[in-house]
């Protein structure tokens, strides 16, 4: 991974089931998240946010890719109602099979 000169650490993505979201941590804090609502093995992704202080670092793409990779590992499917997630799947057809 190419690390932007402005970042002091490698971003980490974690699933936070209590909050219903995947979070990306950068510089020791939550830099953004993509929310999900679970209905059985289908996760609906309604909203993705990257905090303004972290914009321009490619964090949204990293966040969504790692979230979708985790969904795949868990054998789940998605409903991408979030415009960013929907566009990401359209740009990366390797994730199209995850759409319920």
Cβ neighbours for 15, distance < 8 A, ≥ 6 positions apart: 22, 67, 70
Q: How do residues 61-81 score in pLDDT, each as one tens digit?
A: 999 999 999 999 999 999 999
Rounded to 5 degrees, φ, ψ at 39 are -135, 90
C-beta of residue 31 within 8 angstroms of C-beta of residue 38 = no
What's the topology of domain 12-98?
A: Aminopeptidase (3.40.630)
Residue 8: predicted pLDDT:
52
Residue 1's pLDDT band (cuts 50, 70, 90): very low
The maximal CA–CA distance of the chain, rounded, in angstroms, is: 41
Q: How do residues 2-52 score in pLDDT, each as one tens digit?
A: 334 344 578 999 999 999 999 999 988 999 999 999 999 999 999 999 999
């Amino acid at each position: 991974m190419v690390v932007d000169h402005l970042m002091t650490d490698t971003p980490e993505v974690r699933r936070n089931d209590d909050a219903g979201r995947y979070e990306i941590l950068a510089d020791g804090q939550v830099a953004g998240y993509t929310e999900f609502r679970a209905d059985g093995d289908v996760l609906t992704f309604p909203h993705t946010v990257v905090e303004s202080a972290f914009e321009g670092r490619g964090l949204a793409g990293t966040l969504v890719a790692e979230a979708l990779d985790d969904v795949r590992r868990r054998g789940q499917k998605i409903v991408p109602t979030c415009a960013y997630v929907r566009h990401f799947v359209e740009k990366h057809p390797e994730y199209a099979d995850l759409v319920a």
